[in-house]
């Protein structure tokens, strides 16, 4: 069985590394260091922010029943909004941090942002993964980073809705801050795209439900792959190392 030192060296160049590690199957190998600490930190912090935003966002749209007593004695809804705004602003900072790290991190840090849509081989491997997840393939392939179907899903059903959430959420917050605020200068253009505040709010909540559905499917498939596939998934995002369970091609 090959050791980590015997694995192939990735080609140089930004686009070359993106194409290479989106499609190549690495086999055989015992383990490969895939996700660096900054990527793992972003993954789990991003997950915490999304949980906080989904829960508080839902409660903002569907408020809890009124609490008895003097209004001055309670600040429940204010705290819900505070958590939502704080988590949203942290999410923006984390997203900027993750985009910057894509330029400084290893080749696997690029996969989230640039799927190789131009690669026929990549699309063929997407179809193989669809068949594998549908229980129509007997043997999964080995991938260093995300498999092609996961990469496609994370770009179209996670990253794009996340960017939409940030844009619409920033616009709604800017509306409260006023047209003279820096927030409105940064996000006021969103109203030109979607229209009035009601439309922006609707798109914001629809994007939230897309993220919720993605999170449930993502969690299920990650656990499923750890059980049924020939490489680690959940533990990889904890330790950074991908372990292969056999030495088959």
Domain segments of the chain: what residues? Answer: 31-243
Give the residue with greater pLDDT, 6 vs 219: 219
Per-residue b or e along 8-46, where b marks 16 or more CB atoms closer than 10 Å to that residue's CB: eeeeeeeeebbbbbbbbebbebbbbebbeeebbebeebb
The CATH architecture that domain 31-243 belongs to is: Up-down Bundle (1.20)
Quick one: average pLDDT of 13-33?
A: 56
Task: Give the H/E segment covering residue 31.
Answer: strand 31-33
pLDDT of 14 higher than 60? no
CA quadruple 10, 13, 16, 18: dihedral sign: positive
Q: What is the pLDDT of residue 200?
A: 95
Q: What is the pLDDT of residue 5?
A: 39
Percentage of the chain modeled with pLDDT above 70: 85
Question: In which band, very low, low, confident or very high, does the pLDDT at 42 lie, cut at 50, 70 and 90?
Answer: very high
Q: What is the pLDDT of residue 244?
A: 77
Q: What is the pLDDT of residue 29?
A: 59
Give the residue with greater pLDDT, 35 vs 9: 35
Q: What is the mean pLDDT of the chain?
A: 84
Question: In which band, very low, low, confident or very high, does the pLDDT at 228 lie, cut at 50, 70 and 90?
Answer: confident
Of the candidates 220, 121, 110, 223, the residue with the CA atom closest to the CA atom of residue 159: 110
pLDDT tens-digit readout, 140-161: 888 888 889 999 999 999 999 9
């Amino acid at each position: 069985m090959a050791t980590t030192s015997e694995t192939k060296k990735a080609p140089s160049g930004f686009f070359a590394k993106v194409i290479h590690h989106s499609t190549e199957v690495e086999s055989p190998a015992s383990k490969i260091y895939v996700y660096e600490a900054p990527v793992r930190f972003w993954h789990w912090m991003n997950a915490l922010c999304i949980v906080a935003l989904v829960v508080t966002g839902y409660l903002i749209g569907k408020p809890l029943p009124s609490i008895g007593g003097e209004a001055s004695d309670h600040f429940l809804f204010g705290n819900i909004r505070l958590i939502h705004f704080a988590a949203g602003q942290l999410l923006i900072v984390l997203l900027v941090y993750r985009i910057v790290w894509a330029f400084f991190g290893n080749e696997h840090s690029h996969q989230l942002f640039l799927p190789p849509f131009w690669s026929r081989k990549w699309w063929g491997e997407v179809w193989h993964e669809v068949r594998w997840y549908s229980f129509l393939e007997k043997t999964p392939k080995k991938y260093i980073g995300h498999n092609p179907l996961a990469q496609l899903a994370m770009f179209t059903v996670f990253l794009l809705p996340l960017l939409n959430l940030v844009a619409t959420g920033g616009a709604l917050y800017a509306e409260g801050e006023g047209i003279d605020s820096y927030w409105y200068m940064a996000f006021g253009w969103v109203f030109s795209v979607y229209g009035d505040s009601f439309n922006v709010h609707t798109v914001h909540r629809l994007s939230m439900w897309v993220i919720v559905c993605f999170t449930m499917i993502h969690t299920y498939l990650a656990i499923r792959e750890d059980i049924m596939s020939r490489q680690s998934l959940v533990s990889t995002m904890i330790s950074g190392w991908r372990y292969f369970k056999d030495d088959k091609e």
